[in-house]
Each structure stands twice: as C-alpha cells, then as structure tokens.
Structure 1
C-alpha cells in the first residue's frame, strides 16, 4: 500500500474486506509529512495572525528547513532520542515545527494546551519528565511559577526573539527565534520505524490522575487513515484545505486534522484566537477556501445561529467531521438543510485507541446520534462488562476494539504497567470503558461511560481534577463533580460543595470557586453550576458517590 495516497473504496463492505495495514519498515513522520510529496514547494500551512489579520504561508520545504534548525538547537541543548519535549503552543507554526524537530532527533513530544492552568501543566510536565519545553508567551508566567517543582525541566524556549523573551540570556531560558536563526538545516534525521516512540498524550483523568498515553509513530498513520475516511476520501493532494477550531494539543486536531493533512499532501489553516464567533468562522472558511473541517458538536451548534451562510459567504466546504460527543439530529438536519452539498460525519476514538468508529456519507447514511460503523482496519465487539462475553444485538455492553495491526494503538500508560495490562483482554481486545449498543444494521450507539468522565464542549474532563482544584479553596470541605445535560455543550460541569463553615456568602463563594478552577486547570473545566450541600454521599471507603449526585440532580430537574 502507498501511504502517500490512501486507497479509495466505493463500497463500505469492500473497504472492510480489502483494506490492510501495510506499515513501512522505516518511518519517520517528519520525513513522511514534509519530504515525500512530489511538489514540496506547495503551501502546507496558512497562518493567520488574529492580532494583525495578515497571512503567512509555509511550504513543505519551509517547514522542513525550520524544523531542521530547531532540531539542531534542541540537540545543542542536550536533547537526545527518547527525551521528552513539551509543546505548549496554540495554532501557530512553532507548534508543528517543534513536533517535527523532536521526531528528527528521536525525541518524544508531549502536546499540551495553552488552556491548562498551573496544576494541570505541572502534573503533566513532572509525570512525563520533560527536560525541554517550548511555550507561548501567554503561558510563560505560569511556567515560571511551576518550574521549580519540575526537576527534570532544564530548558524553557519561549516564542519570540531575545528582545521580547524575558531572561533569554539566562542559562535554561531561550528565545525560539534566536535558536532558529543561529542554527543551520541539514540535520541527520533519526533512523525511525513505526514502533519508535512519538508522543505522550494525557487522558482526562476521570477515575484518578491523568494518565500519560505513550504512542509510537504508527499513531499518525492510523489517524491519517481515519481522516481519509471521515473526510469522505476527499483529502486530495494540493487541493484540499483543512481547518479546525480545536486546539492542536488534542488528538483529533493534531493527528486527525493537522498531520493528516500533511500526510496526504494537503494544506492546513492555523488561526489562534480567543473565543468562537460564528460569523468570524464563516469569514475564515471563505477567505482560505477551507474544504474540510473538523468541528466539535458545540462549535457546529454555535454556527447554526448564522442565517443562510451559503448565501452570505462564498464557501468551498465539502465535509464537516465531528467528534467529542454525539451529534444531535438538529445539527445533522441543519447541515442538510443549509448547505447544498456538504456532508456531516460523526466519528469516535480515544487517546489510547485512535479513531476507530465513524460515519462516512461516501459509504452509508449518517444516523443522527449514532457513532457509526467501524472503520476499515478495526473490529469491534460489544461485551458484557462483567463476563467479557459478547452481548446480543440491541443490548448494552462495553465497546471493545481490536486493530488489525497492534501498532496503531497506544504502547503503554507511562509508568503504569498494571493499568496498561488492564486495558486489554487476554484475547487482544482493547476495552474503551464506554457502554454502547449495536443495532441490527451494525451502527453503534453511545449509551454512557463506565467511568465518570464529563464531555463538555467536546472536551473530556476528569471530575477528580476539578474536585481537587475546588478543595484548594479554604471554605471548601468536600467536593463532588458530575456532568449534567446541557443543550449547547452536551454536558455542563456541576459541582456539589460541602462548605467548611456555615458563615459564607453563596454567590461570592461560587464566583471564587469558578475563578480558582479556571486558574488552576482550564477555562472549560470550571463548574457552571455549583450547589452547596450539608453532606456529600460517600462509599464505605470514603469516595464520593458521583452516581448518587447525578441521581440527585435528575430528581431536582424533574
């Protein structure tokens, strides 16, 4: 199989039968994304600066040159194969350039979002043992606060030149632009294979601290194959242009959109911005001729506020792909009613298990609310959570997935061998922790989660992280956090807080808790609803019974 262009299958059944993973013996994603294309002078990245409104273009050759230079700089700083390098940069060129530089050295990337606060960043940097970090100026102050608590972190590289970067002359602090200018291209690329470690991505931490998920380079081939499917086989080299509002730290945005575009020889648009204004988004889609967009359901719901966008904007859209929470019928109907010829495809994956199930209108009709069918290269089963036996069609069970090539799934939970082993059955089926049912036509339908993770605005939020942040407030004695239905976000975060005293002002305390969580974790992780209770339900071992809190919230709503 050629990994430059995926094979096109007109029929789903034939794709399932004929597709085979045929991973190359030697594989470095930096070479695959940048050097294999017939015309490397084509534009790979269009970067629009929101503060200036101008557009910078980068060809595949430009990205190759710049990632060579940063790889040489990292090497001079002592970064070696196997070392971990964190990347806390939004949709700016320096984000993928750093990842590419890491892989040219054989280093392991740790993608992190600028939305993270102090605690979230510190935990992940400590746990991964990152010895170098590339950061956006917006998070530099936070990094300075936690740097002393990250003993492995030797070098912080801030975007900008020496005049803009405070302390750039100090040992261990560097200006990205200065490193770029002071090094030459031509580095010898690390001799890598699909099994070479590529990235540590962190889970949401639904039932404990977030887990580092170690992937190998085969991850990017798995994501590129999935993107080719959920973008309806439309990723034509030199023709398709992709954009997503999602942060490039997230798996579906980084691997399933950005690097999938470059694997297939297509262009990507980078547009770091605060907030999501639907009219500004349609302007962007028009300006850049975006043909394919990964758009979380929350973003799609916000786009519905714009009247008749096909009349107001000259759009080249062909496909919306969506993930993070089930698509409602209203969103699917809106796309069908609003656009003459635009597909809407929902898909499903996990940090650990790639993007494995989805809809593709090129093969079958999208059923609103359905996860779709398994993509070629994967088998799925619905198992009894207790016995691990398959359940009959129409009955609820835990979704289990088996890849035809083990390497496209994660390698291990970083430093957690027991949890790694528990993710997989003796028969080689990987457990998702998600309860689903399968209908008579093979479509999978999400029912609930076996853990307590909250899906809000497309983000997976672990309640324990939010609870721990709340407990930093001196007036919070206990806290329990659950997700509750929300028309716009899918779920909203509801915190039940047991105050440490009877003397408090409820509204003041609510705002203080919200601000605290925003600061310590991320903007999307703060509780929109906060209830104060005399006592929280707990298990015999003292754990918060979140199921009881959800039932209490449901009873109150009724």
Structure 2
C-alpha cells in the first residue's frame, strides 16, 4: 500500500520535522545501522561484474574512518570539502563523513574543467578536494593558484602530494564523535547556474536533510523494503534528493550502477536482473528508454516511477505506461528546496501537470504584488515563508546578497518559474522566468557559455539560448557575431564547440551554432535573449 492513499488527508495532517539540532549521519544512518535493524543501505554494481552489498553499518563505520582521515588532513568543522566523484562508494562515504564531522560538503560533476574547479575552490574557500585519478590532473593544474586549498585526497591510488584515501582509511579509527550540529548550521554547498554571472553557491543547512521526508515518503513512496534506483549524476542536488537523503531517511536501499556512460539497453536489462522496486530519472532518461523495444524487457519488481528535472512529455508517460503498466509521476523542486509539488500516488496523473503541492508546503501562484491569483491565471510559482520559514529552504546564495534578496517577494520565496493552477488544484508549468537552459537534466547558465565563447579570438559577440530537442528536451544554441578577419564555416563551428568544451564543463557546449551579423538588443545595449529564444521555439516575440 502506498504511503499516501488520501492526498487531502495527508496534506492536512502532515507535521514537518523541525528539530533544533540535527545530524543526518547520527539521526538517520546510525539508527538504521543498529544491529537490531541489520539493514541494507546499497546494492552497488559496476561494469566489470563487481557486486557489493553494503549495509548501513558499513556506511556508518566507513564514514567515521573518512571523517578521521579528513580531520588528519587538516579539515576542520565549518571547512568546505569539494567532492568530485562519480558513483564510486567513496562519494557516499565522504558525503556522510562531512555531515558527521560538521564539514561543508560541496559535490561537483566529474565534467568540471580546471577553471570550474578553481572557481569553486576560491568562491567557497574550500580547504580540501576529494576526487579520483581521472580528475586529479585538473586539481593539480590549479592547486598553486588556490591558496585556501590545503589537502588533495585521491580515492584510487597514490599520487605525489596527495593523500591516499584507501591507505589512510585503512589506518583510521572507526571511532568518531559525531558533531552535535544545529539545524541551521551550514552543511552543503551546491553550485547552481543562473542567468547572469558564474554559478551561485546555494547553501543548505543540516535542517535540509530532515526536510526530505516528504520527498522520500510521499513522492518516491519508499519504505525500508524498497530497492530504489535514481539515475542521476552525483554532482547535482538531484543526487542529494534521490540518492541520499530521501531514500535513506525511509530506510530504503539504493541500487547503484557505477558505469562510464548511460546505455538504455543495459539500463532496461537491470530491472529483470535485480529486484529494483522504484525508479527516478530525468525525462531525458525516459525518452531514451522508450526509443528501445520495451516489449523485449520485463519489470517484475518495479512498482513506482518518478521523473524530475524538467517538464515530462505526455507521450513519454503514455509509452512507458503501455510497456510497464506504471505511470511516471512528475515531481517539481529545485536545488534550493525539497520536493515542492508532485503527482503523488494518491493523485490521478494528469499528463503534463506538475501535480499538487507537497504536504508541509504552502505553494501558490502569485502576481507581481505578491497576491495569489485565480485559477487559470499565469503567475510566479512561490513558496510561503510565513509565519515560519521552512528549515529545508536554502539559507541563501553565499556571498551574493543581491541575488538572494531577488528570490523573495514579501512573504514569498520565488522559484523563478511560471505556472498556473487549475480549478482542481493541479499546477501546470508554463516557463522559466529566466534564461537558464535545462538540457538532459543539466542546468546551464547562458552567461557561462557566452563567456567561454568570447575567449576565442573569432568571436566578437555571442548570445546563448535554449533550443528544443526531442531527446534532451533542450540544447544550447549559440548565436555568434564573428570578429573581423574570420569567415563562417562548419569547421569554425566545430572549433568553437571544442573550445567551449575545453574552457568549461563539456556538457555546456553549444550543440547548435548560428553565425549572425548582429544580435537583437535593447536601447540600452542589452542582448534580448528572449527574441532569439522565441525564434528557436517558434514563438512570436
């Protein structure tokens, strides 16, 4: 039976957790690690055939070792540790160790360039980086230019100037006194792209972890008997949602496939090989899966599927349901929040709808004055922060008061997205209020790509917008005004694509480039991205 059988009753009766002192390692992981629970935390596999059955007791002990190792490397309470790892076990061990010790964890995708890493280290004042041999050279390249960075930890071998993670942990004690962290103490630092400037530092407190009970219990519908597969990059907050806090707060086990790249055929084969009961993936993942011959696969244990990261196409929901008998239930939230709105199990799925507000969440559509609008009227999606600000809402953008204050309008937090609510209380996404591009689940700021392009001598000006794509939802499209002496060509397009891949993370490169003689601008000289975006999407300006 689902955790939510009556939406109205669940919404009315839910009381959010609001402990004043909270540490997820102590209050969740260590509880499930007790001998009487004897609870599996993860079934981990890789492409070489390795299978590891990891218990909560294993995670608890290993995180104590890592906390001691990091402390021995000079990391202190309140310091930031940047974690650049894929789905290696060390990601879960290190994240848990940071929470346990009161360090601030800052996960990042393995696609980060040296320049990206340097920016994150300097902006956060990070004192340590934990990564693998595939990314170590990037850190070495910027090490001397980052004065706060004291320690480099390598998880898969020895390297000059680095702490050997495996050797250091083997020598470390499993005894570690967990920090008695206040709920409002800093715990996580996620870098998220915006319309202007470089990525913002989204700060979360320890209270964020306890807020994910709504994500895990009501949206993912998890219990301690589930094996949950979240197909997500560990560098993004989606992993914090569905690969860490939400499943483990429910006692569910994680299914983790450590692989170099996503292959839809391999993915589909997993459902018959392993007892996976619940799945979470970006719409891009589902789009790739339904392109396969789904009738050739079986899903004997799968009972619940959700999607998040961008609006889900109704035709994808239909194709998946026809093959599996299951509806993909959409969910809406942000790096800055927990689940805000969703097609919960007790609700009828209305294809294209975001569903209804989560229990414990007062979500509304408001106008420019902060007044709620009538059903059917488009406005800004906003979260009420009165009379009590939710403890799981981000603390702010570190070092950026202006951008933090811009997220609030009176007693409302603005998500930056626009929608309308129908007469039955369902929310329907309309558009983002900014120019951020969501491509295959990745959030890409146009400024970052434009800045990379302008570094090339062939580029005089550039503007970057989203363009529709059948598989990725959106792709990055760049409009480029060439510098004198350069001629438009396909070879130059490829050169610019390669240049962006080198300067910044590869997922940000423009898959579409158009050379133009000029860019549309306002009378004050600002680029009108909206005109270019409307052209790409076939809309009037």
TM-score (norm 2): 0.95
Alignment partner, residue 383 of structure 1? 366
SS in 2 for 1:478: strand
Which one of the candidate residues 227, 238, 254 is aligned to 1:241? 227
Distance 1:7 1:246 in 2: 24
SS in 2 for 1:24: coil
Q: Does 1:32 align with 2:27?
A: yes
Alignment partner, residue 268 of structure 2? 282
Alignment partner, residue 304 of structure 1? 290
Contact kept in structure 2, 1:498 and 1:536, CA below 8 Å: yes
Q: Give CA-to-partner distance per residue, 1:498-547, whole Å, 9 cap, x none.
A: 11134335111111111122223223211111000111223344332101
SS in 1 for 2:300: coil
Distance 1:263 1:557 in 2: 47
CA-based RMSD of the aligned residues comes to: 2.1
Alignment partner, residue 355 of structure 1? 339
Q: How does 1:312-331 map to 2 (within 5 A)?
A: 312-331=297-316
Q: 1:54 Cα deviation (Å)? A: 1.2
Distance 1:356 1:161 in 2: 42
Q: How does 1:513-524 map to 2 (within 5 A)?
A: 513-524=496-507
Q: 1:296 Cα deviation (Å)? A: 0.5
Contact kept in structure 1, 2:83 and 2:131, CA below 8 Å: yes
Q: Does 1:345 align with 2:334?
A: no
Alignment partner, residue 76 of structure 2? 80
Q: How does 1:434-449 map to 2 (within 5 A)?
A: 434-449=417-432
Alpha-carbon spacing, 1:145–1:542, altered in 2? closer, same or farther (3 Å): farther
Distance 1:154 1:40 in 2: 39
Unaligned runs of 5+ in 2: none
Q: Does 1:452 align with 2:435?
A: yes
Mean CA deviation greater in 98-107 or 314-323: 314-323
Q: Does 1:397 align with 2:379?
A: yes
Q: Does 1:187 align with 2:176?
A: yes
Distance 1:112 1:194 in 2: 24
Q: Give CA-to-partner distance per residue, 1:76-130, whole Å, 9 cap, x none.
A: 1221111111100011110011111112211110011102223322222211111
Q: How does 1:494-533 map to 2 (within 5 A)?
A: 494-504=477-487, 506-533=489-516
Q: 1:137 Cα deviation (Å)? A: 1.7
SS in 2 for 1:35: helix
Alignment partner, residue 124 of structure 1? 120
Distance 1:529 1:16 in 2: 44
Q: Does 1:47 align with 2:38?
A: no
Alignment partner, residue 445 of structure 2? 462
Alignment partner, residue 198 of structure 1? 187
Mean CA deviation greater in 6-15 or 367-376: 6-15
Distance 1:71 1:58 in 2: 19
Distance 1:554 1:543 in 2: 21
Mean CA deviation greater in 473-482 or 215-224: 215-224
Q: 1:314 Cα deviation (Å)? A: 4.9
Q: 1:255 Cα deviation (Å)? A: 2.4
Distance 1:45 1:380 in 2: 34
Q: Does 1:98 align with 2:85?
A: no
Q: Does 1:548 align with 2:534?
A: no
Alignment partner, residue 493 of structure 1? 476
Q: Give CA-to-partner distance per residue, 1:326-375, whole Å, 9 cap, x none.
A: 111111111221113x2411001111122211111x21111111111100
Contact kept in structure 2, 1:44 and 1:268, CA below 8 Å: yes
Q: How does 1:467-482 map to 2 (within 5 A)?
A: 467-482=450-465
Contact kept in structure 2, 1:466 and 1:517, CA below 8 Å: yes
Contact kept in structure 2, 1:223 and 1:256, CA below 8 Å: no
Distance 1:446 1:9 in 2: 24
Distance 2:209 2:346 in 1: 23
Alpha-carbon spacing, 1:542–1:53, altered in 2? closer, same or farther (3 Å): farther
Alignment partner, residue 226 of structure 1? 215
Contact kept in structure 1, 2:18 and 2:391, CA below 8 Å: no
